[in-house]
Structure formats: structure tokens, C-alpha cells
Amino acid sequence: MPVLVMKFGGTSVATLDRIKRAAKRVALEVAKGYDVIVIVSAMSGKTNELVGWVNETSPLYDAREYDAVVSSGENVTAGLMALTLQEMDVPARSWQGWQVPVKTTSAHSSARIEEIPSDNIMAKFGEGMKVAVVAGFQGISPEGRITTLGRGGSDTTAVAFAAAFDAERCDIYTDVDGVYTTDPRIAEKARKLDKISFEEMLELASLGAKVLQTRSVELAMRYKVKLRVLSSFEEPSDTAGTLVCDEEEIMESNVVSGIAYSRDEAKMTLQSVEDRPGIAAAIFGPLSNAGINVDMIIQNIAEEGRTDMTFSCPTDQVIRAEKALNDAKAAGELNFSDLIADTNVAKISAVGIGMRSQSGVAAKMFQTLSDEGINIKVIATSEIKISVLVDRKYMELAVQSLHDAFELEKA
Amino acid sequence: MPVLVMKFGGTSVATLDRIKRAAKRVALEVAKGYDVIVIVSAMSGKTNELVGWVNETSPLYDAREYDAVVSSGENVTAGLMALTLQEMDVPARSWQGWQVPVKTTSAHSSARIEEIPSDNIMAKFGEGMKVAVVAGFQGISPEGRITTLGRGGSDTTAVAFAAAFDAERCDIYTDVDGVYTTDPRIAEKARKLDKISFEEMLELASLGAKVLQTRSVELAMRYKVKLRVLSSFEEPSDTAGTLVCDEEEIMESNVVSGIAYSRDEAKMTLQSVEDRPGIAAAIFGPLSNAGINVDMIIQNIAEEGRTDMTFSCPTDQVIRAEKALNDAKAAGELNFSDLIADTNVAKISAVGIGMRSQSGVAAKMFQTLSDEGINIKVIATSEIKISVLVDRKYMELAVQSLHDAFELEKA
């Protein structure tokens, strides 16, 4: 039997009724002849509640315990989904990460999947089971402790299962009906894309368009997994959603395909750092060891042998970043006068494969923001994207004006 | 180092503040030189919520999925407790049932613990860890699926760990400050007992005095585990709570030690059953196979070769019991006209070791209920207890009048 992977996000399993609705979609695919692997997230809000408890208990938490706590939400929905399918006479059972086992690295709270043996589940398919419901987002470390894959990790679980089981397709069911040129809640002219390249999706995902987790797109690109994003609240249809695929499959590339934004980025500035060879390593080595995901980096021009170093990182890593840097300072490995965290910023990005062959995109972006009186704090660019940090209060305005400027409402 | 087991029930870990309060008690025992094994329940209300979801999804649920779902609450508190202890600089980590592993039978949703290897946790104690926080109520079957031990199973987990680790004592922290002559919420004259025998505690527990789970007391009796019940909301003291111990350690036994009650009992009547040899086996065989805990059994006098058979079982097993009996009827193994379930009853019991040597206890009990105009529906007796089923509306009155009649307010 061909294998299909279906992933349901938190809003798609938020209540028992929604789990039933999702199960009906699964039953439809079973009726078509698929053996289905269903990956479930926790009911929406549950993981946030658990993360909140951990943070309140221990701001500098032991990530192994964090994982043991926050992985529990997916176990609940996996069991409930299996029961719902059984009630529809679809043979199903649930698997928790350690039962498959989903083998990961020991990098707790942001572990990477290393291997998913398929024999256990394939044997059950052989015995007549039609659906394996797997708790997403979680795995087991070589030491036998529970790991999690980072926020949105269930997407990665889904793509990894699709690769491991050579699935025909990986359908990601979420609360939006596809990938948009930007967030429709912010710009009402936002338009749904029928197709988008892996590369663009990767940038959009990493830049805060929360439709898919970055790593899931990376994985899909590497293993050529056909990935479809669609809504669990629309009627089933073969043309629903957005297909994430190879660049070659898209006839005409836009200069800019989408505008992304992120509220969860903080700007951190180390003031009066010694300007000497190796200083970047002295700063970013400890941050890397502490598991901080540094994104943009800016170094000011030095005066009298001192300089300011600015970088951005996720807001929820600020406390860890401060500790890592202050520890390095205390150990004499690093010297700075002040460490200033600014969590009142937002990141805005324009993404498009067409940028590779078309110039003037950055200039148009900066001019548009300038016309609106929006000050740019940090700039970073790559081959197919341009990102800026701005004051958070300008976030919506920046997204709307850029969407207009690049005429993204037009197909 | 001597090992101490401390178990915290749902109300003792209901909020982060309460977890902190519990952790402080653990830290006190660590300071005294103990290696401590902490067994935690789910935050109060959580397990009920999960059970509710399972029942709503699938009234005749697959118990393996039930277990996968309802075991998740304990995982959350185990992790949060470990984090809280770490914040107090007490070296601690959490264990889920399958990690220890707590090996159980495959009787899902009411599994029995078969073995708890101590090497894994003892090795960590050897490395300087002071507290092992274990998720109560759960284990792993020989097939590698998650099992649970039945409601209140965390008490059993605690006693089993105390036996497996040869613990000096097993302290059960709950929301009451000990074992009472009856429920103080119903009879305000209820008096706290300093000591109670295993046998009496066993009857009280099995009869609905929800301080300790029956099986935990059985286990403690068999392995001679010193068991103490005390409140996590009182100041620590060496004389707090109630010690559950051997009969020999109690100087003078009361004729009646306590009055217990249970709302969760249903009365089921099979009408017009064929009265023939083997009929009891034909009824209770299928119920046993379906995992129904039948308690009292009454058979009426037969007329014209037909009789009525009445039995009681927990309210939440009524649907299963009905299915098992109707299936047996459909299979031609059993014949009856009607099956009537009455969930509007309550069970009231008088318990005391002194009954063994003193007569007239039953007569006094029946007279007392009669004086209050309370009709008795079913009677069952054992060596140290007398139980009756009455209309639920009389439950409080029955408890109060019996407490008065046996003068239980006097030490």
C-alpha cells in the first residue's frame, strides 16, 4: 500500500469535534487505499501553557525536564485521535516518540531527528492496521531521555516520517488554507500562492511566516518530499492549499514572492567591546554553546579600539544569552561595558527567487520604508531575501506598504 | 544513604506554588540525609479532564489508548517538580514510568506492578543525585505500551517503590491531615486517628474513604512498608498524620473504627434469570473477563425456576458491564428478561477490628438506620466490616447517625 503522511496542527485538534473532523479526512484517505501516518500536535494553547509553567518554575531551566514536560500535550492528542478513528471502524493505534522510536540528538528542546526505524509501524500495517497516529514534536535521545524538536517541530516530524516511509505526499493541515504573500490578518490584499519553491518557503518560514517550521522545509527539500499546506477547515479538494516544490516546477518566479515578519526577535547590543582579532569568536562562541540562535549581526566602526556589537536572537532566548555573555565576561574571556536587550523590535523581510536576477529590490524596499517614516535599525541580506529590524509599532505599516510597493496582490 | 519515599497527591501539586511548597518538604528530608524518591500525581482536575475526553470520544474505549492519554498528567508534574528542586539547588531529575522501568501486567487501565528495577535510580543516587521524581500511576507493559494502575494508582506506585528500594518510610502527602473516623465534610464530629491497622485501612480504602488506594495498603501490608498519611498543608512535625501499621502496634482496638461511604457504586439487577447450577458463573465469568469489579452480590429466592440477581460495581463500569452481559445473552450463554442499572445508590460501611470479638454490631447498625427511616437495599458483611446500599439521598444522614451510634467522636 502507498503511504501518506498527514499532519494536523494545534488548531486542527483543538477540541474533540475538531479531532473528529480531522479523523474524517484521514478516513477518506484510507478509503482511497493509503496506509496513513498521522502526526499530531498538542491541542492549541496546551504547549504554551506547559512552556509557561516551565519558565515560571525555572527561567534557566534544565532542558531535559523542559522536554519531559512540554512533550505531554502531543501524547494526549495522539491517543484521542487513535480512539476517534477506532470509533469510525478505522484500525488505528497511537505511538509516542520513544515507542517508534524517533531517535534524535541530545540537544534538548531543539533536538534533530537522526533516524526513524520503519519496521515497527510497517509490521502493524502488515497486520491490517490502517493508521499509525504519532505524537509529533518529540523523540528520544541516545541516553533514553525525552527530547523535543523546538516549536513547530511536528512539521519536521511529519516530513521526517514521509522521508523514512517513502510517502507519496506529506499533507500539512493547519488553520490557514495555504501560503500567502503575507499575513492576511495584517494586509488584507494578501494573496494565496498555488505553488512556492522550497527555497522561498525556507526563507519565509525562517523569517516568521509560521505556516511551516524551517527545518521541515529543509528536510523536504533534501529528501524531495512533496509537501502540501492546506486547511483542515475547508472542504477536501485536490487543488486545495499550496504545494511546496522544486523551483523548476514553477513557471514564472516573482521578484518578490512574499513579505514576512516576526515579533519574536530581540535586538541585543554589547557596548564598548574591545576591537581585536577573535572578538567575534569570543562573543558568538559562548552564545553558540548556550544554544542561542543568533540571526543578524552588525558591528559598528571602531573608535579608540572599542566597538559596539549588535545581534538579534529569539526573544525567549534573551535571558540565556545574557547569562552566557555575562559568564564569559566574569571568566575574563570577553570585555564590554553594557549589554542592552531591546525586545521592542520586529523583523520585516522581502523574499523572492527573482531577486537573484533582478537588481534594485533593496533600494525599493528602503525607499518604501523611508517614505512611511520608518527607521531601519539593522539590515541583513541573502541571495533571495532582504531583512530589516524596525520598531515594533511600525510592523503592520511596514508589511502593508511593502506588499503594496511590490504589487503582491497581483498573480 | 537511607531512602525515603514521599508521595504528593493531586491537590498537593495543583499549582506551581503548591509544587514549591511540596519541594520544600522534600528539601527538608534531603537535609536530614535521605535519598528521596518523590512520586507525583497529576495536578488535581487534570486526570478527570483527560478521562472525560476519552469517555466522550469513545465510551467503549481501547484501554491501551486510554492509558496513553491519561498518563500524561503525571509526566507534567514530575518534570515541574524536578525543575523546582533544581531551583532550590537540590540535585533532582524526573522519571516517567517506562524510563525506570515500572514493569506492569498488560491489564490496561488497571495494571499491576510486577517489578521495579532499582539499579537505574540507585546509580544516579550514587552519582550525587538526591531526589528521583517519578511520575506515579503509570508503567509499561511487556508489549512496550504505556499502562496505568487505576484511579489513585500513585499511592500504589509509592508503596511499590518503598518496597523495591527498602525505604525507611513511605509518606503519603494529601489534602487531609490523616485518616478520620469518617469524612469530616459529612460528620463534623469526625475524629483523626493516630494509628490504624492495615486491615481496617484496607476496608476503609476499598469502601470509598479516598485517603489511600486499596492496593497500596495491600502492598504495604505484604511488604511491611511503614505508611504515613499526612497533609502537605500543615507544618512539618514528627507526630503529624496517621500511621498505618500492624494490628499489634495498636494498643486497644475499637469495635468500630470508622464509617465509610461511596457514591461511585451502582446497583445492577438481572431480572428473571434461570435458576440452575452454573448460573452465577455464567453471569460473573463474562463480567470478570470484561474487567468489572463486582463487589456485593445478592440472589433472591427463586420462584418457578427463575430468580433475580443483584450485584454492585463501580458506576463508571456500568456501560461495560451492560455490554458484557448483553453480549453473553446474545451468545446464548445467559438468559434474563431485563437488566436494570440503578446509579442512584450509596454504600455505607462500618469497619472495625473489634468486630471479630464483639457481637451485636450489625444489629446496632440496622436499628440505627431503621430509626432514621432509611431502607436498606443490599447487605454485605466480612470479618471486620458491614456494608449496606441505601438510596443516595440518605447517604449523609446514614453516616452521621452511625458515627453517633458507635460514639466514634470519643478517643
* B407 pLDDT higher than 90: yes
Distance CA(B227)–CA(B171), nearest Å, equals 6
Indicate whether A65 belongs to any domain.
Answer: yes
> A85 and chain B: CB distance < 8 Å anywhere?
no
Range of the domain at B146: 3-175
> A54 and chain B: CB distance < 8 Å anywhere?
yes
Residues A326, A365 contacting (CB under 8 angstroms)? no
pLDDT, averaged across chain B: 91
The H-or-E segment that residue B337 falls in is none
Q: How much is the pLDDT for A402?
A: 96
- Could you tell me the pLDDT band of residue B8, with boundaries at 50, 70 and 90? very high
* A76 contacts B50? CB cut-off 8 A: yes
Residues A23, A84 contacting (CB under 8 angstroms)? yes
> A144 and chain B: CB distance < 8 Å anywhere?
yes
For residues B99-108, give the mean pLDDT. Answer: 97
Name the minimum distance, in Å, from the CA of A267 to any CA of chain B.
28
Q: How much is the pLDDT for B207?
A: 61
For residues B287-314, give the mean pLDDT. Answer: 86
Indicate whether B76 belongs to any domain.
Answer: yes
Of A57, A78, A80, the CB nearest to B84: A57
Assign residue A70 the CATH number of its domain: 3.40.1160.10
Count Cβ atoms within 10 A of the Cβ of residue B31 and give its class: 0-12 exposed, 13-18 middle, 19 or more buried: exposed
In percent, the amount of chain B with pLDDT more than 90 equals 69
C-alpha closest to that of B350 among B382, B314, B312: B382
Count Cβ atoms within 10 A of the Cβ of residue B411 and give its class: 0-12 exposed, 13-18 middle, 19 or more buried: exposed
Instruction: Specify the number of domains making up chain B.
Output: 1
* A73 contacts B75? CB cut-off 8 A: no
Choose the mutation target among A53, A64, A87, A119 for the interface with B, i.e. most B CBs under 10 Å.
A53
Rank A86-95, B144-153, B167-176 by mean pLDDT and report only the highest: A86-95
The H-or-E segment that residue B283 falls in is helix B279-289
Residue with cell 499511592: B155
Indicate whether A54 belongs to any domain.
Answer: yes
* Range scoring the smallest mean pLDDT among A205-219, B47-61, B212-226, B393-407: A205-219
pLDDT tens across B317-373, in order?
999 999 999 999 999 989 899 999 999 999 999 999 888 877 788 889 999 999 999
Indicate whether A387 belongs to any domain.
Answer: no
- Write the CB contacts of A185 (distance below 8 Å, at least 6 apart in sequence): none
For residues B108-115, give the mean pLDDT. Answer: 94
Indicate whether A199 belongs to any domain.
Answer: no
Choose the mutation target among B43, B55, B57 for the interface with A, i.e. most A CBs under 10 Å.
B57
First to last CA, chain A: 38
Phi first, then psi, for residue B99 (nearest 5°) are: -80, -25
Block means of pLDDT (10 residues each) for chain A, 411 residues, are 95 96 97 97 94 95 96 97 98 98 96 96 97 98 95 90 96 89 90 90 72 86 92 83 85 82 91 86 90 85 83 92 94 92 94 84 92 90 89 95 94 74
In this prediction the ipTM stands at 0.74
A96 chain-B contacts, CB cut-off 8 A? 68, 146
Residues B43, B10 contacting (CB under 8 angstroms)? yes
Which one-letter amino acid corresponds to residue A253?
Answer: S
Per DSSP, what are the bridge partners of residue B388? B348, B379
Q: How much is the pLDDT for A208?
A: 57
Helix axis angle, B72-87 relative to B46-57, nearest 10°?
A: 160
Distance CA(A348)–CA(B126), nearest Å, equals 52
- A252 or B400, which is more confident: B400
Indicate whether B161 belongs to any domain.
Answer: yes
B65 chain-A contacts, CB cut-off 8 A? 79-80, 82-83, 86, 93-94
Name the minimum distance, in Å, from the CA of B84 to any CA of chain A.
6
pLDDT tens across B262-282, in order?
888 899 999 999 888 888 888
For residues B93-114, give the mean pLDDT. Answer: 96
Instruction: Count chain A–chain B contacts defined by CB atoms under 8 A.
Output: 105
Indicate whether B169 belongs to any domain.
Answer: yes
Residues A157, A102 contacting (CB under 8 angstroms)? yes
Q: How much is the pLDDT for A210?
A: 67
β-strand A3-8 against A169-174: which pairing, if any?
parallel
Count Cβ atoms within 10 A of the Cβ of residue A370 and give its class: 0-12 exposed, 13-18 middle, 19 or more buried: exposed
Residue ranges of the alpha helices (H) in B114-213? 119-126, 153-164, 198-206
* B71 contacts A75? CB cut-off 8 A: yes
Indicate whether A48 belongs to any domain.
Answer: yes
- A127-138 exposure pattern, b = at least 16 Cβ within 10 A, e = fewer: eebbbbbbbbbb
